[in-house]
Amino acid sequence: MNNYVIITDSSCDLPASLADELGVKVLQLEVNIEGERTKFNNEIDIKDFYATLRTKKAVTTSAVNIDRFIDVFERELAGGNDILYIGFSSGLSSTYNAGKNAADELNEKYPDKKILTVDSLSASLGQGLLVTLAAKKKSEGATLEELCQYVEDTKWHLCHWFTVDDLFFLKRGGRVSAATAVLGTMLSIKPVLHMDNEGHLINVEKARGRQPAIKALLEHMKKLAIEPRKQTIYISHGDCYDEAKSLADMIKAEFGINDILISEVGPVIGAHSGPGTIALFFLGSER
């Protein structure tokens, strides 16, 4: 029987309507804006959030603790469901480890039930794309164990390529030095980054200017994508829809692809990448 649910974190940046359509449960992570009351990700107006970020106010995020995972997981178990938890990259957050520890505890407490977990090694719509593919596989009849193995296999081909517009946010998060941020800003240098096999953000190259950086994302897709015409491509953006749409148009022209989802980078990821982030996600020969 297919009586299990897929649970993921709001770091996946899936639109709520799509998550509902897929039957995926999304556990909300928390955001704190300059000492104000911590809010769940889905309680924050995205336009207001990016307006706040542009003022350079202090914004922090919080991992989910084990008690919240136990509460969410136990409710599903009580309803008769087993669980596949696909978590936010352990290379960026302790959230996955909290979920894994909760699963281990509950698997001992409820030996007749199953909670399986996968460290997605992904974030934003990269995590969202992995979850989408998992939900589609579930709808095709995959068992819990089959789906867990499918997600484990597929994550090694989930490509994340992105660029940011304002180096301040990478500097604040310790991704670049203060000197690099100042010099890069002066010279209009835009980093091109990706997610490595340990789920860490890696600075791969530097582009001189915004448009060359965005075009670099396409170039990496050209090198790595597996049968791109058969894929759904995901693009996320930090309050810069027109530039995300421009990238989508370039992809359509290059590959003849029409199935492209464009959505916002949510507050949990946006707090660390900043306004002007453009990210491209697809399946490739390697991450």
CB count within 10 Å of CB 246 equals 15
> Is residue 42's pLDDT more than 60?
yes
For 95-108, write each residue's pLDDT tens digit.
999 999 999 999 99
Is pLDDT of 46 > 90? Answer: yes
pLDDT of 13 above 80: yes
pLDDT per residue over 169-206, tens digit each? 666 655 555 545 445 555 577 889 999 999 998 888 88
Select from 223, 226, 156, 164 the least CA-distant residue to 192.
164
Higher pLDDT pick, 38 / 256: 256
Average confidence (pLDDT) over 18-25: 97
**CATH at 26:** 3.40.50.10170
Dist CA 36 CA 69 (whole Å) = 24
Strands (E), 53-157: 59-62, 82-87, 115-119
Q: What is the pLDDT, as a whole number, of residue 179?
A: 47
Q: What is the DSSP letter of 110?
A: -
Return d(Cα 52, Cα 46) in angstroms, integer: 10
- pTM here? 0.94
Domain boundary among 155, 188, 206: 155
- In terms of Cα–Cα distance, which of 120, 73, 135, 81 is closest to 99? 73
Could you tell me which residues come within 8 angstroms of residue 240 by beta carbon, excluding any fewer than 6 positions away?
Answer: 165, 275, 276, 277, 278
Same domain? For 207 and 100 the reply is no
Q: Are 247 and 280 in contact (CB under 8 A)?
A: yes
How many domains does the chain contain in total?
2
Based on the domain organization, do 251 and 193 belong to the same domain?
A: yes
Same domain (yes/no): 57, 189: no
Which of 132, 155, 178 marks a domain boundary?
A: 155
Interatomic CA distance for residues 174 and 91, integer angstroms:
14
Q: How far apart are the first and last CA of the chain?
A: 33
- The pLDDT tens digits of the residues spanning 136-154 come to 999 999 999 999 999 999 9
Query: Do residue 91 and residue 106 come from a single domain?
Result: yes
Q: Which of 284, 162, 153 is nearest to 228 (CA)?
A: 284
115 and 28 both lie in a single domain: yes
Tokens 């307006």 sit on residue: 51
Residue 203 and residue 271 in one domain: yes
Residue ranges making up the domain that contains 102: 4-155
The predicted structure's pLDDT at residue 181? 47
State the angle between helix axes of 95-109 and 66-78 in degrees (0 to 180), rounded to the nearest 10. 40
Last residue of a domain, one of 108, 135, 155: 155
